């Protein structure tokens, strides 16, 4: 009897052991790309992923703008944290410097998301209207990122779908990249809404945004007529696009006024003191705005410390007319220390006025680390630049008189003065001033060309625009000469208008050869 | 594979079914000219009977024959012992064999003054029936009911032999005494030392693999947070290292070096058969076995590569009800301090950098000694109460433990409650069932430590670096904050205004049934449930620098881990003619893991600090929410075959076939085989005459085991979320996260082991030596892919590392008289080397990485992974002292008075090419030496442990030595270079100095530490019996009393950011403590 019981038990045990087990994984909370895209919201999430990734420290958060301002003549190196940024300032960047790789990586990371979103559009079941709008937004992002890449590196791999065989990819000539950028932007201009449906959100594109970037792309390419046309289209439609200049220049650089500013056409959104995940490296975070800290005054006690890393040369400050309200907004020349207010000659580390635009009113920020992760959005395009593009391009096609008017609009706003009132800093309210005066109407085309570039330099000071002006107008030999604002004897225009392709990318993918000239 | 295994099991079943079953008390035996021992062990196999006997009095080697069919046990025993002087006594399942006492002369009428005495057991009760004989004669007697004996005509130089079943035989010299009292000590004679191996036990003498055993006595020598800590220095090849001195901090354990670079090196912990379980407190552990070589670990397959720790918890014993109470109280002080500048010295130094910053440095006096502010006397209490016992059918062990620690830094503490209960019951003659249940609750009240720089200032970090010129509070009552460098609160504020609590609950249950199926065939099934949950909360008060900026900051997170395991295996033993011994095991297991977590981070803007993290709804700053789920499964088939030829040649073969959901779809199943051979030379005829050698065994093994380094879902392509905001709101956003790798698999380690076990003079001296070589291949690496693909890396199996080493364990009973001295020592040498590395982008074939947490040191590379070097090798510049006037500074280097580095590529420029290997964190050897002395009622334990030849990066001193005016400095900067004091190695103060990593901050971390010294006193039996106690002992001990080291930091026994790639790093650790303990052990 017992033997039989034991036999039953044994059989039961063996039956249990033989039962099948499924070893497939079913991750919940982690999405696989196939099968994810079901509706418009899913695609929108992927497009949003582009914005979040652009707002990472490797791209618009820190690395990209810092590399640009370092190469420009408006900002010199202050404290050098041996991070590789100073090489941009001194034109000694090598293919193994980490920033050409980091920026490249960040840009192509965003492109990967944009292409995934475009793939997503093909997967969803929505009306053509919805699909076109989504595709337009994704293509806008793609164009903007390629515009950054092509200006920095020249000929680059151009990928526009998710199925590309990476090992077979070759470089696309810069001119062809520009053509693809224009094509994407024209599609975007056609299918994006006139105002962003989310209460005219300024960090998401609309028709006006696409037209603005198109104007900038054409300006860079020297297609003056196209540049003028697009800028003019934005100016003519400013009402319906809801664009206008801010009254007080300082308000453009107050984190609490940026979100609804009519002047801001496009920027990256940051939320203060918050961080995204980055398991790999806690120094490369999403939502990581550090320009405030990088420009800020190291050692100052009020309101926050900074790193004194990107500090204008003294000449930039000294050559700027004191009567210009924009100078007040752009510089910190006095600041509170533990022992009271000090002027820049007594700054603890770098005895030069520091840039103030991104630091002074950057809102909530991470206090214990000198104020990075600030609330300050990084503006990429604003309406004043559209006016200046129209002016510059208009002048080139013979419409100098009209162009003068655009510059005067920008100057008129500067003359209004405004209220800074930065607690304890000596910066208060500034009455309207006659400076900068209107440009006289009889100015020659040649003089105006220089004037508008100078106007861009001051109006857009420290806003990471200057380097591309130097590059597209070939001003390098002039501005980095001994008489320039920031002499850089190592500057070589046949080499330095492009940064090197990352060495590791060439090593891994020989199709990328040759390296950019001179590197 | 699965089918063939089933067939194998079925065939065993069929063969045995023919041979028939034994009846409950009736047995069938058929032996021809076999030893008594073989017959008895066959009876043990067939029934639940077991035998106890004194091998010295019973001739078990005697050959006899017996053929019986369905006979009761008494008939069989009568048959076996017919014609001998052996009698037996059957007590339930226990059969005691003893010589017939009638063969002794028994005369109690002789004058008692000749020689008399009393024999007692360990618990003080008189023992009747103890055999007392005069050695070398047949003269003897037996103790009476009161344990008394009387002997006459005893020669003055005679030796008395006291023996009793279940007790160790004792020999006592008469030496003219007329009265000799003896306390008999328990010993289960005839039962050899048995050690746990995976899925079963083995006689130690039959082991073919490398297994270290640690007894419960060693684990409870001094109070420990858990048994891992207690393993430190106790076993060769096992490195246990404290990671941080904070209450509740963990210990790192690695066995025979680190097998991986990116995956973990933690061994698999198996508690009472439950893999990946939590160890109960040391007091509840019966023994720990550490499986080291592949022959032992391969049975655990894809989890065995890092070694296996088998924990057996205590259980009750039949018929012995006992209560034990253990308690200790320790007082603790920080093990060491760092001397930093006082206020005057600090102000003078700052003024060198920033003239006039302090008006009159001397007016600040000594200032605030921040280490005085944060340190206090810590206190540790430990209580354990256990009740155990059993009847013939049921045994039980119940224990409760309470551990409470008040940290040596203010506002830090840790407490732990746990319960262990083990029950085993015989429900049918052939079925035993039981349960092992463990529950634990811990509560950690922490302070920040081992963090700093940009991340988060911590209390020890600030205690060194914070300016001594101010006090805790400013005049307005708010906390002082740094006025230079990163803005940070003072250490007092950091310790008191961060509320950080972490609680965890563990419930672990194991339910098993053991079935005696057929002759020699048993089946055991275990069902285990394990649940671990925890909660962490942190609130940073608005009074701090960090919390003040955001009106308070709160984080709260929860996690829950649960797993279910089912282990089912058969064991079959057979013995053929005493020549061939066979032991086979085959089984199946299933384990599933479920991990979920939820966190709410960075809730800010609170109306009050009073809510802590318990009213997150009151925060107006939007927190980040996150949650995650991970599930995985492991299905395994395993088997082991032990074959012994006359106990002389021993063979072991194991195999495991693991299927894991974590592996990629093309590699779901993995096979792990091993084989071992051992040669017991003592069983060879030619060794018979050599009496001085009591054990001599050679062992050799080879096998493959794995490291299940792949995390769930790691082989899949995924989309992950991106932190994206729009006008202050977080919006949904995703991006492609990882590229899939359908071939991703485990890291596998092939290990060869050659060992020898030697015992001399009845095992008074023992030595075990092992050589091993391990090669781990298929190491997981994030292999770079072209970045324009949109991805950075893909996880692939690439890379190979090697560990080889030597281990020695020696034991000796140096003194065995009244003064008893037992010593055990072990020493282990391990060499770690990278054999193959992933082709790395910029850096050739080496990977440079950095771990410096210091302000201004982000991106600073301090370590290297390079083929031919050990994992975690230090890499940087070579410091050559201070650049003196007249010397030419290097381009990019400092000027006169600054740090001077060797220009290794002599081009006059200080650049990356001038870096070199600066040292290795791997020790040349680690060792432990444990000594146990006893004299009368006193016992003394001295335990010394050490590590030799490893180096350490002292980031703490690196931070304090930079002298760029951002923090206080260590006292040695008083010797800094100045225009008038140039003959020094310490550079001048320089505001613009950035961190350069050089050998200036790499130090020898060798140490030898008196880990424990305990003096115990056992109360006299007579005294405690009057108090109705079984035993009572009090002791006083000291831990970490002194350390011999040349290390200049606080303590060489720390591990900042401990992992395979990051070893030998020291930064702002919560100091380990020195402690003095008083304790009591009571038995009832």
Map out the domains of chain A with their CATH numbers. Answer: 6-273+380-512 (1.25.40.390)
pLDDT at B793: 83
Q: Which of B300, B97, B86, B116 is nearest to B197 (CA)?
A: B300
Task: Pick the range with the lowest mean pLDDT from B26-35, B514-523, B667-676.
Answer: B26-35
Please count the helices (runs of H) and the strands (runs of E) in chain B: 13, 59
Q: Is the pLDDT of residue B335 over 80?
A: yes
Residue B841 sits at the chain A interface (C-beta within 8 Å): yes
Q: What is the pLDDT along chain A (519 residues), one digit of tens a residue?
A: 466 676 676 666 665 555 556 788 877 777 777 778 889 999 999 999 999 999 988 899 999 999 999 999 999 999 887 678 999 999 999 998 989 999 999 999 999 999 999 999 999 999 999 999 999 999 999 999 999 999 999 999 999 988 878 888 999 999 999 999 999 999 999 999 999 988 899 999 999 999 999 999 999 999 999 999 999 999 999 999 999 999 999 999 999 999 999 999 999 999 887 766 544 444 457 788 888 889 988 878 765 668 899 999 999 999 999 999 999 999 999 998 877 888 999 898 899 999 999 988 888 776 555 567 788 999 999 999 999 999 999 999 999 999 999 999 999 999 999 999 987 788 899 999 999 999 998 899 999 999 999 999 999 999 999 999 999 999 999 999 999 999 999 999 999 999 999 998 998 888 999 999 999
Task: List, for residues B126-167, the tens digit of each pLDDT value.
Answer: 787 788 888 877 778 888 878 888 887 787 778 888 887 667
Backbone angles phi, psi at B285, to 5 degrees: -105, 130
Q: Which of B29, B97, B93 is nearest to B64 (CA)?
A: B29
Q: How far apart are CA B449 and CA B1067, in angstroms?
A: 9
Tokens at residue A52, please?
């979040």
pLDDT at B221: 82
| Contact criterion met (CB below 8 Å) for A50 and A117 | yes
Tokens at residue B856, please?
């201004």
> Is A367 close to B856, i.e. CB distance below 8 A?
no
Residue A80: list chain B partners with CB under 8 A: 994
Residues 177-206 of A with CB under 8 A from B: 198, 201, 203-204
Q: How far apart are CA B900 and CA B26, in angstroms?
A: 89
Tokens at residue B223, please?
């109070």
Query: What average pLDDT does range B218-233 have in this prediction?
Result: 85
pLDDT at B1028: 84
Q: Is the pLDDT of residue B106 over 80?
A: no
Residues 205-244 of A with CB under 8 A from B: none
Closest Cβ opposite residue A270 in set B517, B716, B725 = B725
> What is the widest separation between alpha-carbon atoms in chain A?
119
Q: How far apart are CA B516 and CA B537, in angstroms?
A: 51
Tokens at residue B318, please?
């039949």
| Contact criterion met (CB below 8 Å) for B451 and B461 | yes
Residue A278 sits at the chain B interface (C-beta within 8 Å): no
Q: Which of B931, B927, B912, B804 is nearest to B864 (CA)?
A: B912
> Is B735 close to A25, i.e. CB distance below 8 A?
no
Query: What average pLDDT does range B1000-1009 have in this prediction?
Result: 95
Q: How far is A445 from chain B (nearest CA, A)?
A: 42
Between B9 and B271, the higher pLDDT residue:
B271
Q: How far apart are CA A6 and CA B21, in angstroms?
A: 11
> Is B727 close to A305, i.e. CB distance below 8 A?
no
Task: Pick the range with the lowest mean pLDDT from A347-351, A482-486, B633-637, B1033-1037.
Answer: A347-351
SS3 assignment for B72-133: EHHHHHHHHCCCCCEEEEEECCEEEEEECHHHCCCCCCCCCCCEEEEEECCCCCECCCCEEE
Indicate the pLDDT class of residue B502, thresholds 50, 70 and 90: very high
Q: How far apart are CA B47 and CA B65, in angstroms?
A: 20
pLDDT cut 90: percent of chain B above it: 53
Q: Is the pLDDT of residue B409 over 90?
A: yes
| Contact criterion met (CB below 8 Å) for B96 and B167 | no
Cβ neighbours of residue B781 closer than 8 Å, sequence gap 6 or more: B261, B262, B795, B796, B797, B798, B799, B837, B838
Residue A86 sits at the chain B interface (C-beta within 8 Å): no
Q: How far apart are CA B1054 and CA B1063, in angstroms?
A: 9
Q: How far is B406 from chain A (nearest CA, A)?
A: 29
Between B696 and B54, the higher pLDDT residue:
B696
| Contact criterion met (CB below 8 Å) for B969 and B342 | no
Q: How far apart are CA B509 and CA B434, in angstroms?
A: 11
Residue B649 sits at the chain A interface (C-beta within 8 Å): no
pLDDT at A15: 57
Indicate the pLDDT class of residue B986, thresholds 50, 70 and 90: very high
Residue B195, strand partner residues:
B202
Angle at B483 (CA atoms; ends B479, B489), nearest 5 degrees: 35
The residue in chain A having the minimum alpha-carbon distance to the alpha carbon of residue B4 is A18
Q: How far apart are CA B978 and CA B976, in angstroms?
A: 6
pLDDT at A302: 63
**A with B: how many residue pairs have Cβ under 8 Å apart?**
260
3-state helix, strand, coil in chain A (%, to 5): 50, 10, 45
> Is A18 close to B6, i.e. CB distance below 8 A?
yes
Note the residue count of chain A. 519
Q: How far apart are CA A376 and CA A373, in angstroms?
A: 9
> Is A276 close to B722, i.e. CB distance below 8 A?
yes
Indicate the pLDDT class of residue B89, thresholds 50, 70 and 90: confident
- Helices A2-18 and B2-19 pack at an angle, to 10 degrees, of 170
Q: Based on the number of CB atoms within 10 Å of its own CB, is B562 exposed (0-12), middle (13-18) or buried (19 or more)?
A: middle
DSSP 8-state secondary structure symbol assigned to residue B828 = E
Residue A18 sits at the chain B interface (C-beta within 8 Å): yes
pLDDT at B511: 93
Residue A506 sits at the chain B interface (C-beta within 8 Å): no
Q: How far apart are CA B872 and CA A383, in angstroms?
A: 53
Backbone angles phi, psi at A395, to 5 degrees: -60, -40
The three-class DSSP label of residue A415 is: helix
Task: Pick the range with the lowest mean pLDDT from A362-376, B98-112, B938-952, B1034-1048.
Answer: B98-112
Q: Which of B715, B707, B645 is nearest to B680 (CA)?
A: B645
Q: Beta strand A340-343 with B916-919: parallel, antiparallel or unpaired?
A: unpaired
Backbone angles phi, psi at B27, to 5 degrees: -125, 155
Tokens at residue A55, please?
């707002």
The three-class DSSP label of residue B824 is: strand
Cβ count within 10 A of residue B456: 17
pTM value > 0.80: no
Backbone angles phi, psi at B32, to 5 degrees: -120, 120
Indicate the pLDDT class of residue B23, thresholds 50, 70 and 90: very low
Indicate the pLDDT class of residue B107, thresholds 50, 70 and 90: very low
Q: How far is B211 from chain A (nearest CA, A)?
A: 30
Task: List, for residues B684-709, the tens digit of each pLDDT value.
Answer: 888 877 888 888 999 999 999 998 87
Mean pLDDT score of chain B, rounded to an integer?
87
> Is B733 close to A169, i.e. CB distance below 8 A?
no
> Is A48 close to B731, i.e. CB distance below 8 A?
yes
Query: What average pLDDT does range B166-176 have in this prediction?
Result: 78
Per-residue exposure over B6-32, b if at least 16 CB sit within 10 Å of its own CB, e if not: beebeebbeebbeeebbeeebbbbebe
> Is A13 close to B722, i.e. CB distance below 8 A?
no
Residue B718: list chain A partners with CB under 8 A: 27, 30-33
Name the strand (E) or helix (H) holding B26: strand B26-35
For testing the chain A interface, which of B9, B262, B725 should be mutated: the one with the most A CBs within 10 Å?
B725
Cβ neighbours of residue B510 closer than 8 Å, sequence gap 6 or more: B271, B272, B273, B274, B435, B436, B437, B526, B527, B528
Q: How far apart are CA B42 and CA B27, in angstroms?
A: 10
Half-sphere exposure of B1045 (CA within 13 A, CB side): 28
Tokens at residue B710, please?
């792949």
> Is B659 close to A53, i.e. CB distance below 8 A?
no
Q: Which residue has the tokens 């430590």?
A: B449
Indicate the pLDDT class of residue B643, thresholds 50, 70 and 90: very high
> Is B628 close to A29, i.e. CB distance below 8 A?
yes
Q: How far is B525 from chain A (nearest CA, A)?
A: 9
pLDDT at B855: 78
pLDDT at A81: 72
Closest Cβ opposite residue B787 in set A79, A82, A505 = A505
Per-residue exposure over B73-110, b if at least 16 CB sit within 10 Å of its own CB, e if not: beebbebbbeeeebebeeeeebbbbbbeeeebeeeeee
* ipTM of this complex prediction, to 2 decimal places: 0.90
> Is B568 close to A36, i.e. CB distance below 8 A?
no
3-state helix, strand, coil in chain B (%, to 5): 15, 50, 40
Residue A437 sits at the chain B interface (C-beta within 8 Å): no
The three-class DSSP label of residue B767 is: strand
| Contact criterion met (CB below 8 Å) for B996 and B942 | no
Q: Is the pLDDT of residue B94 over 90?
A: no
Residue B1076, strand partner residues:
B331, B1038
Please count the helices (runs of H) and the strands (runs of E) in chain A: 21, 12
Q: How far apart are CA A59 and CA B496, in angstroms?
A: 38
pLDDT at B392: 79
pLDDT at A20: 54
E strands along B998-1040, which residues?
1002-1004, 1007-1018, 1031-1039
Backbone angles phi, psi at A29, to 5 degrees: 90, -10
For testing the chain B interface, which of A82, A103, A155, A177 should be mutated: the one with the most B CBs within 10 Å?
A82
Q: How far is B472 from chain A (nearest CA, A)?
A: 18
> Is A109 close to B546, i.e. CB distance below 8 A?
no
Note the residue count of chain B. 1084
pLDDT at A11: 63
* Cα A288 from chain centroid (whole Å): 12
Q: Is the pLDDT of residue B644 over 50?
A: yes
| Contact criterion met (CB below 8 Å) for B546 and A368 | yes
Residue A282: list chain B partners with CB under 8 A: 455
Q: For residue A303, say if its preceding peptide bond is cis, omega within 30 degrees of 0.
A: yes
| Contact criterion met (CB below 8 Å) for B1000 and B864 | no
Q: Which of A38, A141, A134, A116 is nearest to B736 (CA)?
A: A116
Closest Cβ opposite residue B659 in set A17, A21, A271 = A21
Q: How far apart are CA A49 and CA A138, in angstroms?
A: 11
């Amino acid at each position: 009897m017992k033997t039989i019981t034991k036999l039953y038990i044994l059989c039961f045990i063996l039956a249990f052991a033989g039962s099948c087990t499924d070893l497939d994984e079913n991750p919940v909370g982690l999405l696989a790309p196939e099968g994810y895209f079901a509706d418009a919201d899913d695609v929108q999430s992927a497009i949003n992923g582009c914005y979040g990734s652009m707002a990472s420290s490797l791209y618009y958060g820190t690395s990209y703008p810092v590399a640009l301002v370092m190469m420009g003549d408006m900002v010199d190196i202050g404290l050098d944290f041996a991070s590789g940024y100073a090489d941009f300032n001194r034109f000694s960047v090598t293919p193994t410097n980490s920033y050409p790789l980091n920026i490249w990586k960040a840009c192509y990371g965003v492109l990967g998301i944009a292409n995934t979103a475009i793939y997503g559009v093909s997967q969803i079941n929505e009306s053509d209207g919805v699909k076109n709008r989504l595709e337009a937004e994704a293509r806008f992002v793609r164009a903007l990122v390629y515009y950054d890449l092509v200006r920095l590196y020249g000929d680059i791999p151009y990928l526009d779908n998710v199925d590309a065989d990476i090992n077979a990819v070759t470089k696309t000539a810069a001119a062809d990249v520009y053509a693809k950028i224009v094509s994407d932007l024209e599609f975007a201009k056609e299918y994006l809404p006139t105002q962003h449906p989310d209460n005219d959100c300024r960090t998401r594109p609309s028709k006006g945004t696409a037209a603005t970037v198109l104007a900038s792309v054409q300006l860079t390419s020297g297609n003056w007529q196209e540049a003028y046309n697009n800028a003019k289209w934005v100016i003519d439609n400013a009402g319906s696009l809801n664009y206008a200049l801010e009254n007080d220049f300082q308000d453009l650089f107050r984190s609490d006024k940026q979100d609804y500013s009519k002047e801001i056409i496009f920027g990256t959104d940051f939320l203060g003191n918050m961080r995204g995940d980055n398991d790999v490296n806690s120094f490369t975070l999403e939502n990581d705005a550090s320009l405030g800290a990088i420009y800020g005054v190291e050692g100052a006690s009020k309101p926050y410390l900074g790193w004194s890393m990107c500090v204008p040369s003294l000449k930039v400050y000294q050559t700027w007319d004191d009567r210009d309200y924009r100078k007040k907004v752009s510089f910190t020349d006095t600041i509170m220390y533990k022992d009271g207010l000090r002027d820049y000659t007594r700054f603890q580390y770098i005895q030069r006025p520091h840039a103030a635009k991104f630091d002074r009113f950057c809102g909530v920020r991470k206090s214990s680390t000198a104020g990075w992760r600030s609330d300050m959005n990084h503006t990429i395009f604003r309406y004043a630049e559209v006016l200046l593009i129209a002016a510059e391009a208009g002048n080139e096609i013979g419409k100098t008189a009209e162009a003068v008017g655009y510059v005067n609009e920008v100057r008129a706003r500067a003359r209004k003065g405004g209220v800074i009132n930065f607690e304890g800093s000596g910066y208060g309210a500034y009455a309207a001033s006659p400076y900068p005066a209107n440009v006289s109407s009889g100015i020659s085309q040649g003089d105006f060309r220089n004037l508008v570039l100078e106007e861009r330099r001051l109006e857009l000071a420290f806003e990471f625009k200057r380097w591309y002006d130097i590059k597209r107008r070939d001003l390098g030999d002039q501005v980095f000469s001994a008489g320039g604002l920031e002499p850089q004897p190592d500057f070589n225009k046949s080499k330095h208008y492009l940064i090197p392709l990352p060495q590791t990318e060439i090593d891994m993918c020989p199709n990328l050869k040759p390296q950019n000239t001179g590197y | 594979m699965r089918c063939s295994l089933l067939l194998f099991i079925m065939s065993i079943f069929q063969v045995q079914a023919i041979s028939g079953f034994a009846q409950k008390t009736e047995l069938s035996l058929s032996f021809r000219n076999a030893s008594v021992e073989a017959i008895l062990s066959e009876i043990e196999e067939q029934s639940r009977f077991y035998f106890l006997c004194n091998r010295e009095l019973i001739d078990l080697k005697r050959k006899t024959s017996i053929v019986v069919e369905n006979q009761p046990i008494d008939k069989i025993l009568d048959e076996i012992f017919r014609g001998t002087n052996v009698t037996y006594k059957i007590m339930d399942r226990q059969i005691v064999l003893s010589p017939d006492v009638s063969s002794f002369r028994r005369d109690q009428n002789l004058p008692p003054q000749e020689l008399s005495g009393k024999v007692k057991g360990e618990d003080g009760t008189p023992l009747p029936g103890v055999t007392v004989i005069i050695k070398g004669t047949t003269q003897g007697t037996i103790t009476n009911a009161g344990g008394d004996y009387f002997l006459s005509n005893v020669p003055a130089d005679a030796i008395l032999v006291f023996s009793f079943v279940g007790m160790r035989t004792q020999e006592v010299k008469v030496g003219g005494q007329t009265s000799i009292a003896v306390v008999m000590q328990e010993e289960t004679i005839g039962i050899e030392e048995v050690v746990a191996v995976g899925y079963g036990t083995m006689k130690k003498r039959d082991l073919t693999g490398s297994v270290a055993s640690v007894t419960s006595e060693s684990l409870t020598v001094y109070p420990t947070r858990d048994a891992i800590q207690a393993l430190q220095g106790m076993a060769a090849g096992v490195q246990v290292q404290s990671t941080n001195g904070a209450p509740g901090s963990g210990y790192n354990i690695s066995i025979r070096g680190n097998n991986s670079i990116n995956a973990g090196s933690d061994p698999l912990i198996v508690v009472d058969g439950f893999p990946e379980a939590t160890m109960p407190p040391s007091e509840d552990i019966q023994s720990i076995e550490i499986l080291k070589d592949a022959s032992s670990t391969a049975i655990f397959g894809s989890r065995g590569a890092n070694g296996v720790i088998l924990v057996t918890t205590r259980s009750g014993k039949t018929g012995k009800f006992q209560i034990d109470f253990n308690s200790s109280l320790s007082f603790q002080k920080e093990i060491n301090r760092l001397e930093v500048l006082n206020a005057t010295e600090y102000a003078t130094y700052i003024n060198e950098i920033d003239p006039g910053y302090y008006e009159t440095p001397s007016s600040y006096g000594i200032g605030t000694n921040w280490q005085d502010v944060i340190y206090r006397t810590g206190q540790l209490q430990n209580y354990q109460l256990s009740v155990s016992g059993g009847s013939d059918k049921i045994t039980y062990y119940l224990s409760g433990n309470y551990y409470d620690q008040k940290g040596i830094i203010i506002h830090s503490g840790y407490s732990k409650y746990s319960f262990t209960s083990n029950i085993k019951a015989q429900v049918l003659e052939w079925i035993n069932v039981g349960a092992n249940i463990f529950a634990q609750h811990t509560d950690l009240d922490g302070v920040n430590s081992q963090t700093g720089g940009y991340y988060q200032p911590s209390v020890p970090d600030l205690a060194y670096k914070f300016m001594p010129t101010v006090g805790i509070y400013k005049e307005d009552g708010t906390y002082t904050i740094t006025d230079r460098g990163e803005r940070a609160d003072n250490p007092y504020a950091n310790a008191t205004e961060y509320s950080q609590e972490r609680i965890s609950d563990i419930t672990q249950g194991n339910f098993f049934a053991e079935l005696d199926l057929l002759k020699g065939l048993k089946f055991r099934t275990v069902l285990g449930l394990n649940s671990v949950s925890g909660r962490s909360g942190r609130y940073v008060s608005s009074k701090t620098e960090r919390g003040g900026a955001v009106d308070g900051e709160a984080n709260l997170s929860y996690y829950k881990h649960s797993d279910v395991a089912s282990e089912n295996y058969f064991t079959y033993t057979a013995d053929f003619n005493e020549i061939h011994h066979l032991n086979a095991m085959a089984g199946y297991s299933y384990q599933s893991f479920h991990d979920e977590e939820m966190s709410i981070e960075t809730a800010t803007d609170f109306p009050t600090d009073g809510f802590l993290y318990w009213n997150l709804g009151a925060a107006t700053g939007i927190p980040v929410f996150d949650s995650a789920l991970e599930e995985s499964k492991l299905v395994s088939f395993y088997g082991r075959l032990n074959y012994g030829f006359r106990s002389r040649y021993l063979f072991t073969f194991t195999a495991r076939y693991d299927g894991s959901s974590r592996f990629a779809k093309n590699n779901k199943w993995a096979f792990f085989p091993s084989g071992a051979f051992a040669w017991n030379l003592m069983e060879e005829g030619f060794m018979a005459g050599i009496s001085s050698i009591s054990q001599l065994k050679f062992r050799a093994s080879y096998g493959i085991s794995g490291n299940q380094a792949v995390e769930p879902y790691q082989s899949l392509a995924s989309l992950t979320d991106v932190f994206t905001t729009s006008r202050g709101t977080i919006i949904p956003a995703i991006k492609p996260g990882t590229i899939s790798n359908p071939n991703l698999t485990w890291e596998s380690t092939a290990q060869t082991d050659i060992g020898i076990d030697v015992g001399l003079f009845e095992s008074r001296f023992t030595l075990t030596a092992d050589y091993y070589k391990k090669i781990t291949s298929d190491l997981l690496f994030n292999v770079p892919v072209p970045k324009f693909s949109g991805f950075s890396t893909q996880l692939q199996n690439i890379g190979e590392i090697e560990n080889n080493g030597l281990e020695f364990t020696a034991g000796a009973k140096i003194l065995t008289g009244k003064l008893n001295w037992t010593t055990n020592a072990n020493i282990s040498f391990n060499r770690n080397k990278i054999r193959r590395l992933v082709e790395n982008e910029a850096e050739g074939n080496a990977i440079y990485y950095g771990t410096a947490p210091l302000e201004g040191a982000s991106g600073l590379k301090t370590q290297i992974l390079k083929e031919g070097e050990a994992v975690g090798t230090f890499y940087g510049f070579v410091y050559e002292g201070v650049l003196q006037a007249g010397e030419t500074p290097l381009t990019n280097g400092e000027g006169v008075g600054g740090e001077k580095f060797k220009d290794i590529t002599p081009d006059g420029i200080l650049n990356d090419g001038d870096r070199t290997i600066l040292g290795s964190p791997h020790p040349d050897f680690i060792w432990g030496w444990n000594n146990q002395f006893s004299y009368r009622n006193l016992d003394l334990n001295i335990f010394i442990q050490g590590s030799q030849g490893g180096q350490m990066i002292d980031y703490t001193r690196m931070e304090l030595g930079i002298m760029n005016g951002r923090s206080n400095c260590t006292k040695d900067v008083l010797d800094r270079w100045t225009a008038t004091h140039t003959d020094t190695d310490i550079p001048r103060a320089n505001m613009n100095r950035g961190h350069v990593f050089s050998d200036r901050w790499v130090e020898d971390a060798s140490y030898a530490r008196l880990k424990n010294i305990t003096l115990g006193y056992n109360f006299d039996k007579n005294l405690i019996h009057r108090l109705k106690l079984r035993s009572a002992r009090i002791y006083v001990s000291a831990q970490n009393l002194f350390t011999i080291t040349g290390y200049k930091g606080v303590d060489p026994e720390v591990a900042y950011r401990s992992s395979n790639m990051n070893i030998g790093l020291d930064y702002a650790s919560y100091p380990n403590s020195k402690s003095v303990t008083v304790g009591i052990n009571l038995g009832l």
